[in-house]
C-alpha cells in the first residue's frame, strides 16, 4: 500500500522541477502561488506542479515531510528550494533561471 509520503517522495524524485502550489500555473488560487509560478515560467522551462487544493492529503503531509510549513514549495532535483519569497528573490537576482535551466538540461541529457 502506497502512503502519502511515498507519493510525495515519488513526485519529488521523478520531476526535476516541481512546484507544490494552490491551483495551477494558469489558474493559481493564491497570490503566493501565482508569484512563484510566474517566476518559474519566466525561466522558460517546463516544470511539473501539484495542486495541493485537489490533494488534501499531500497538503497535510508535505509540510511535515519537507519541514517547511507553507505553500508554494519549489523542489529542484530532489532538494527543497523554498517558498514564494525565496523563489521571487532568486528570480530577481538571476539565480532561479540558472538553477531551473541547469535542472532542465540535466533531465534532457539523461533521457
For each of the domains in the chain, give its residue range(s) and CATH number, in order of start. 4-80 (3.40.30.10)
Instruction: Tell whether 26 is in a known binding site.
Output: no
Cell 502506497 identifies what position? 2
- pLDDT value, residue 90: 98
Instruction: Tell whether 30 is in a known binding site.
Output: yes
Facing residues of 48 across strands? 18
Local confidence band at 110 (pLDDT 50, 70, 90 cut-offs): confident
Q: What are phi and psi of 23, to 5 degrees?
A: 95, -155
Instruction: Tell whether 84 is in a known binding site.
Output: yes
Instruction: Tell whether 46 is in a known binding site.
Output: no
Instruction: Tell whether 71 is in a known binding site.
Output: yes
pLDDT tens column, 65-108: 999 999 999 999 999 999 999 999 999 999 999 999 999 999 99
Task: Specify the pTM.
Answer: 0.96
pLDDT tens column, 27-57: 999 999 999 999 999 999 999 999 999 999 9
Instruction: Tell whether 32 is in a known binding site.
Output: no
Amino acid at each position: 500500500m502506497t502512503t502519502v509520503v511515498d507519493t510525495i517522495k515519488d513526485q519529488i524524485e521523478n520531476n526535476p522541477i516541481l512546484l507544490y502550489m494552490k491551483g495551477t500555473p494558469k489558474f493559481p488560487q493564491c497570490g503566493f502561488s501565482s508569484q512563484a509560478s510566474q517566476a518559474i515560467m519566466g525561466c522558460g522551462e517546463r516544470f511539473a506542479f501539484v495542486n495541493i487544493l485537489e490533494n488534501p492529503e499531500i497538503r497535510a503531509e508535505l509540510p511535515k515531510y519537507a519541514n517547511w510549513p507553507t505553500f508554494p514549495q519549489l523542489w529542484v532535483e530532489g532538494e527543497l528550494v523554498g517558498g514564494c519569497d525565496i523563489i521571487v528573490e532568486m528570480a530577481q537576482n538571476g539565480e532561479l533561471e540558472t538553477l531551473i535551466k541547469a535542472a532542465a538540461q540535466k533531465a534532457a541529457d539523461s533521457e
